[in-house]
A and B are shown apart, each in its own frame.
Chain A
Amino acid sequence: MIHSLFLINSSGDIFLEKHWKSVVSRSVCDYFFEAQERATEAENVPPVIPTPHHYLLSVYRHKIFFVAVIQTEVPPLFVIEFLHRVVDTFQDYFGVCSEPVIKDNVVVVYEVLEEMLDNGFPLATESNILKELIKPPTILRTVVNTITGSTNVGDQLPTGQLSVVPWRRTGVKYTNNEAYFDVIEEIDAIIDKSGSTITAEIQGVIDACVKLTGMPDLTLSFMNPRLLDDVSFHPCVRFKRWESERTLSFIPADGSFRLLSYHVSAQNLVAIPVYVKHNISFRDSSSLGRFEITVGPKQTMGKTIEGVMVTSQMPKGVLNMSLTPSQGTHTFDPVTKMLSWDVGKINPQKLPSLKGTMSLQAGASKPDENPTINLQFKIQQLAISGLKVNRLDMYGEKYKPFKGIKYMTKAGKFQVRT
């Protein structure tokens, strides 16, 4: 099981270590540093590194490496999932997960880590249970604690810890009872030079924010549940009901949680809401290149596309760019060769465009690789797959909750090749 955890910042300092079994010397991280050196970029450090006596499994998030040390055959996904859970928990506790914040709260971090694993076995990883055990720091609580001498460690066994609904504690009370659901879909797509779709898929999630008194039992039904053939559920969802009736029936966790994630694959037709027209040409032997891109709406179901952002990693040979956007602002970093253009809203009557020239390294040959354009955008009030919630019912409690559903479509990894 998980032996130890090291937190390493981008400059290669170990700033926190935690051991759940015997102490493993931090020199084991030297193997990690070697691998880090070999991989030119932090993102490319391999997640599984063997050393003579241990295995190092790592995730890289928020510019911090979370490196777990294991000694025996342990499912690596288990370790990696756990590490991601650690990061999520830190984020949940402190709002952001960064080196200074972790250092600021080192004792809480240490207490939380101790609760999350016992002898390397996961103990409490549900955020609501953890929060009952170790209360997250707030300014008010810090002040109160200092005055009264009370602690931020709960002295009662968390109620959720052993119940059949570990995600919910008993005795929850709210004055305003509300249940909000966000249907968020991200489009991952690769569009080729000519504008035709190579792959497109939708990664969708339904995030819930439920603040309901007592032990409510909710049922959520869809207009078109057949869209959902590849789904992953929060443990609260009753799988049998879904299998037989295609409705989601569950006792919700308290607060915010991800109810469901789904995947609409390439076989079904995925609508592509934007197109990019591009004309990027490097001419041999000339020190100037032409650059022109235009973004326009495609299949938007009548909604407006906003929050459009275009980024592209230009080839090394590009020294600088002189461009004029028809709207929005753009920047080009001559060091990293990163071009980004913050477009904003797309007005279908007047399509946004970015035109100009690139100055190329004189004498150098035409770059081998063409830049790929990365696109970000948002469409409010639309789930691009067409998924629609039919109704939400509540049983088990008497009061009438306030219900709300929001839809949104975003670009995930949306790439246009040129």
Chain B
Amino acid sequence: MTDSKYFTTTKKGEIFELKAELNSDKKEKKKEAVKKVIASMTVGKDVSALFPDVVNCMQTDNLELKKLVYLYLMNYAKSQPDMAIMAVNTFVKDCEDPNPLIRALAVRTMGCIRVDKITEYLCEPLRKCLKDEDPYVRKTAAVCVAKLHDINAQLVEDQGFLDTLKDLISDSNPMVVANAVAALSEIAESHPSSNLLDLNPQSINKLLTALNECTEWGQIFILDCLANYTPKDDREAQSICERVTPRLSHANSAVVLSAVKVLMKFMEMLSKDLDYYGTLLKKLAPPLVTLLSAEPELQYVALRNINLIVQKRPEILKHEMKVFFVKYNDPIYVKLEKLDIMIRLASQANIAQVLAELKEYATEVDVDFVRKAVRAIGRCAIKVEQSAERCVSTLLDLIQTKVNYVVQEAIVVIKDIFRKYPNKYESVIATLCENLDSLDEPEARAAMIWIVGEYAERIDNADELLESFLEGFHDESTQVQLQLLTAIVKLFLKKPTETQELVQQVLSLATQDSDNPDLRDRGYIYWRLLSTDPVAAKEVVLAEKPLISEETDLIEPTLLDELICYIGTLASVYHKPPSAFVEGGRGVVHKSLPPRTASSESTESPETAPAGAPPGEQPDVIPAQGDLLGDLLNLDLGPPVSGPPLATTSVQMGAVDLLGGGLDSLMGDEPEGIGGPNFVAPPAAAVPASLGAPIGSGLSDLFDLTSGVGTLSGSYVAPKAVWLPAMKAKGLEISGTFTRQVGSISMDLQLTNKALQVMTDFAIQFNRNSFGLAPAAPLQVHAPLSPNQTVEISLPLNTVGSVMKMEPLNNLQVAVKNNIDVFYFSTLYPLHILFVEDGKMDRQMFLATWKDIPNENEAQFQIRDCPLNAEAVSSKLQSSNIFTIAKRNVEGQDMLYQSLKLTNGIWVLAELRIQPGNPSFTDLELSLKCRAPEVSQHVYQAYETILKN
């Protein structure tokens, strides 16, 4: 007598048989037949052919039969729209039934029939049901509006159902309120712009009252809706928090998490000094811990959210480390999440416990988990300095186990530890080298190669080790190839005598035999560096590396703030804002945490303070007038001060842009073949023009590259001009230009002998000048200059000579002597060779200085016909040591704020106005402020020269 018999009727003619039964006179037989039909439907069989016969059974007072027919209708009406019309009459009649259950059922079912023709008939009954005396019918009707909206949004708006729905928010029955909120939220989601849920203190109050009385699911809807509200001050926020807090003790974890979201968001508005703030923090911990004792699926979602909460407010769970310890039979997805949170909570106080646990995990069975545990040990070492030694010894113990994947993971993290604590744990290198052969994963190989290269001077057989990798160079992954290239160059620079052959080999492998542009370009860079200037190469390749940060995978603060607003949603599970993954078409409104505002008593005029205004934490820097400084301040401090300040991107930008600019000059004036005599310049062909940041190379690779190129700043170099014509100097022609590279200025001279006799004994001297420019070395012309011969000389300059103000300011008087005579000439040098590398001013400094310099020192210039956008401008300027500190967009114009410093310590501040996207208007406006206004004119000329070349 069970329903499973319905599953077994698979024989042919089944439909036919059912048809006969459906049309039977006997009620019981009919019902049995409908049941069979439903059963077939649930297992996915197509029984749509029976549509008319089933609909015929609809007119009945047997409620079960009616429901069964309704079930059938909902499933198949769409495929048989014409037939479905037959059912309309019964629906309309049922909507008038004295039994509220039947009225509700009818309106509910009608909404589920997604056929346009039916929806037309639905409007009248729905309107009645929305005002029904029975709350059960009203709440069902509320949901029906959402259904109808999904089918035909226009119809719902035209019929005014949305307003009726809004009225239901004030209904006397909490369940009706909850359903109305749910329906409105769903409709609002497809119309993000519409202001459906217009929340005000009155409606909030109603929602809070309903919150206490409605079902658990209704509570979730209401809480999620509350989270979208922004209270007007901290008072209101606190009173809402007080009324939401009891929800933390609900047995339904979704209610708890939605309540946590509301509290986390509104807490942002409360002052930290408030007693209530501390109380609230304490109240948040227990419910979060309790979520972890639920079923694993719930734990997973809870853990993903706790991960966000821990990043935003670590103080909440700082004492709860132990609940995140992993049980061996937790599902893997729970284990990995727990591990992540353990690291985030690790501190000096609990590190011993954490390490003991991690070591335990590293011997588990699950490979993924073990790997992550080993990695976690490394992260502990980097995060908690006091534990570093212990971590390293733990990792060494693990390496001794010789379990392949453990060893590889351990080597990867030890590399990071070396980066964080240079020259501290090198004693372990020997142990690492023993395991060289067992490494088969690219990341581990790359890490090992990095270690060998970095500490080449301490590893006796470093060359042998690296050579062993070189054999299968082309089979390695890009990551390993890049690392190997860098490591061998490092090795060469450290032990040049015995490794020349090796470095030649790797350079030719990288540049000639490889198709990978990253690898090839890096090969060329090294090659040219080595052939041009081995000293510079050393400075570049062996430059001191920036320390790595403590936590590498923290979520960026603005994103974190946005995600906090999405606690409990899918966004919080993916750690991405909904705009990143919700299907297109449905726009998503960005949410942000409310700013901390004081209540009306504590500020004098709260009405005039807009919500986004900078909080009064640093009143002394905020200028009264809304001038440039104010704007700049807005730029800097505008975002609500919550959590750490926003990371500025300009720092990283510098390095990448320099790569482009620096390289151009590196390629451009390459003095051929005068570097180390052992080097042949690389083939000039196939040097790709674009050398952006290498794509897909590992982080460690980037460090090598960017830190190196970062110091290799090359200013714009003007083409050589004739300074001393031959006819004035008895046959000696001198042309030249000035360059600035890697912080040093030089005068590039070209001497041509146009006389008929050999010239020897060259010497050079400068007259006193405005910036104390003087030759740093004697002029060296090695061989006598025979007739019609030309020699190129780069004369290094310094700025420590005696100073005398010249007119014009950049005038330089030079005397050149040879065996024939002494010649005098004068030249004007471009001011940008005097712009130093550390000319980047701190933002705050900039603001203060700009304010400090009197307005009469400001000079205005126009740079005509310069069709560049802001990015191009700032990268061009940056390569000549003019640094962009901030960028702002005002009414379609880009404003760049820049600073530069001269060799004698004079700061020049600049504001550059660009109008992008306006082809007819290509002039740039430049305002310069400087304590020595006489340099402005020349700085302007430098700007013009740089930008136009």
Task: State the A residues within 8 Å of B (CB).
Answer: 1, 14-23, 26, 39, 43-44, 46-48, 50, 53, 55, 57-60, 71-78, 80-84, 100, 103-108, 110-111, 114, 118-119, 121-122, 125-126, 142, 146, 149, 151-157, 161-162, 164, 166, 188, 190, 192, 198-199, 201, 203, 229-235, 239, 243, 258, 261, 263, 265-267, 313, 368-370, 372, 374, 413, 415, 417
Q: Quick check: B333 and A46 within 8 Å, CB to CB?
A: yes
Q: Which residues of B contact A104 (CB under 8 A)?
A: 2-4
A39-B332, A155-B63, A203-B293 in contact; A190/B325 too (CB < 8 A)? yes
Out of A18, A19, A157, A162, name the residue touching B175 (CB < 8 Å): A162
Q: How far is the CB of B725 from chain A (nearest CB, A)?
A: 73
When the two chains form their complex, are residues A157 and B301 in contact, meaning their CB atoms are under 8 A apart?
A: no
Is B856 interfacial (CB 8 A cutoff)? no
Least Cβ–Cβ distance between B357 and chain A, in angstroms? 7
Q: Is B609's beta carbon under 8 Å from chain A?
A: no
Rounded to whole angstroms, the CA-CA distance of A18 and B42 in the bound complex is 7
Q: B864 at interface (Cβ–Cβ under 8 A)?
A: no
A16 contact from B43, B135, B360, Cβ within 8 A:
B43
In the complex with contacts A75-B258, A162-B173, A198-B251 CB distance below 8 A: no
| Docked CA distance A88–B782 (Å) | 95
When distances are taken between beta carbons in the complex, the residues of chain B under 8 Å from A370 are 363
B67 contacts chain A at the CB level, 8 A cutoff: yes
Interface of A: prevailing SS: mixed
A1 touches B289 (CB 8 A): no
Residues of B within 8 A of A415 (CB): 327-329
Question: Cβ of A372: which chain B residues have Cβ within 8 Å of it?
Answer: 328
Instruction: For chain B, give the interface size range.
Output: 35 or more
Per CB-CB distance, the 6 closest pairs between chain A and chain B, nearest first, are A230-B286, A151-B64, A104-B2, A153-B64, A47-B297, A77-B254
Alpha-carbon gap, A82 to B301, bound state (A): 14
- CB distance B217 to A263 under 8 Å? no
Q: Of all chain B residues, which has the CB nearest A39?
A: B332
A152 near B64 (CB under 8 angstroms)? Answer: yes
Are A78 and B71 interface neighbours, CB within 8 A? Answer: no
* Closest Cβ–Cβ distance, residue A309 to chain B (whole Å): 15
Q: Is the CB of A55 within 8 A of B570?
A: yes
As a 0/1 sequence over residues 527 to 545 of chain B, the CB contacts with chain A under 8 angstroms (1 = contact) are: 0000000000000000000
B582, A72: Cβ atoms under 8 Å? yes
Query: Quick check: A77 and B62 within 8 Å, CB to CB?
Result: no
Given contacts A153-B63, A368-B401, contact A199 B322 (CB under 8 A): yes
Q: Answer whether A78 and B254 are a contact pair too, CB < 8 Å, given A21-B150, A162-B173, A368-B363.
A: yes
B267 at the interface (CB under 8 A from A): no
The CA-CA distance from A41 to B24 in the complex, in Å, is 50
Q: Which of B6, B254, B289 contacts A75 (CB 8 A)?
A: B254
Some 22 contacts from A to B, beta carbons below 8 A apart, are A16-B42, A19-B75, A21-B147, A22-B78, A26-B44, A44-B332, A44-B333, A46-B300, A47-B297, A57-B297, A73-B189, A75-B254, A75-B257, A106-B39, A108-B3, A110-B38, A111-B67, A118-B140, A119-B147, A121-B143, A142-B1, A162-B136
Contact with A along B108-138 (1 / 0, CB 8 A): 1001101000000000000000000011100
- Which residues of A sit under 8 angstroms from B360, Cβ to Cβ? 192, 417
Q: How far is the CA of A105 from the CA of B1 in the complex (A)?
A: 10
Whether the pair B582, A73 counts as a contact (CB closer than 8 A) is: yes
Residue numbers in B under 8 Å from A53 (CB-CB): 583
> Which of A57, A153, A263 is within 8 Å of B289, CB to CB?
A263
Please measure, in the bound complex, the distance between the C-alpha atom of A121 and the C-alpha atom of B581, giving whole angstroms.
23
Beta-carbon contact of A78 and B217 below 8 Å:
yes
Given B136, B220, B251, B322, which contacts A161 in the complex, CB threshold below 8 Å?
Answer: B136
Contact A155 B99, beta carbon cutoff 8 Å: yes
The CA-CA distance from A323 to B11 in the complex, in Å, is 55
Q: Are B570 and A76 in touch, CB under 8 angstroms?
A: yes
Contact status A48-B254, CB under 8 Å: no
Chain A neighbourhood of B581, CB < 8 A:
50
Assess A14 versus B44: contact at CB under 8 Å? Given A75-B568, A107-B3: yes
Chain A residues whose C-beta falls within 8 Å of the C-beta of B27 in the assembled complex? 149
Query: For residue B568, which residues in chain A have a CB less than 8 angstroms away from its CB?
Result: 75-78
A77-B327 contact, Cβ under 8 Å, with A105-B3, A231-B249, A232-B250: no
Residues of A within 8 A of B807 (CB): none
For the complex, give the distance between the alpha carbons of A238 and B71 in Å.
39
A166 in contact with B215 given A119-B147, A263-B290, A413-B327 (CB within 8 Å): yes
By the criterion CB–CB under 8 Å, are A106 and B186 in contact?
A: no
Within 8 A of A (CB), among B299-340: 300-302, 319-320, 322-323, 325, 327-329, 331-333
Contacts of B31 in A (CB 8 A): 151
Sample of 20 further A-B pairs with CB below 8 A, known A166-B215, A198-B357? A14-B44, A21-B150, A22-B78, A48-B573, A72-B189, A75-B257, A77-B254, A77-B257, A80-B297, A106-B7, A114-B71, A121-B217, A122-B215, A151-B63, A156-B99, A157-B99, A190-B327, A192-B360, A232-B256, A235-B251
- Per the bound structure, the CA–CA distance linking A59 and B253 in Å amounts to 15
**Neighbouring A residues of B38 by C-beta, 8 Å:** 106-107, 110
Nearest-CB distance from A341 to chain B (Å)? 17
- Supposing A104-B3, A198-B357 touch, asked if A233 and B251 sit within 8 A by C-beta, the answer is yes
CA distance A121 to B252 in the complex (A): 16
Min C-beta distance of B59 to chain A, whole Å: 16
For A14, list chain B residues within 8 Å (CB). 44
Of the candidates A80, A84, A233, the one whose C-beta lies within 8 Å of that of B301 is: A80
The reply to whether A118 and B143 form a contact with Cβ atoms under 8 Å apart is yes
B565-595 vs A, CB cutoff 8 Å, 1 = contact: the mask equals: 0001111011000100111001000000000
Which B residues lie within 8 Å of A103 (CB)? 2-4, 7
Judge if B287 is at the interface, Cβ distance under 8 Å: yes
User: How far is B329's CA from A374's CA once the two chains are assembled, in angstroms?
Assistant: 10
- Which of the residues B75, B101, B249 comes within 8 Å of A157, measured between beta carbons? B101
Are B323 and A199 within 8 A (Cβ)?
yes
Min Cβ gap B140→A in Å is 7
Of all chain A residues, the one with the shortest Cβ separation from B297 is A47
- B800 CB–A CB distance under 8 Å: no
Determine the distance from Cα of A190 to Cα of B308 in the docked complex, in whole angstroms: 26
Report Cα–Cα, A26/B46, bound state, in Å.
13
Question: B562 to chain A: closest CB distance in Å?
Answer: 14
Q: Given A110-B38, A230-B287, A369-B365, A125 and B217 touching (CB < 8 A)? A: yes
Please measure, in the bound complex, the distance between the C-alpha atom of A203 and the C-alpha atom of B295, giving whole angstroms.
Answer: 13
Chain B residues closer than 8 Å to A162, beta-carbon distance: 135-136, 173, 175
A243-B323 Cα distance, complex, nearest whole Å: 26
A75 touches B71 (CB 8 A): no
- Mark contacts of B761-793 with chain A using CB atoms, 8 A cut-off: 1 yes-contact digit, 0 otherwise: 000000000000000000000000000000000
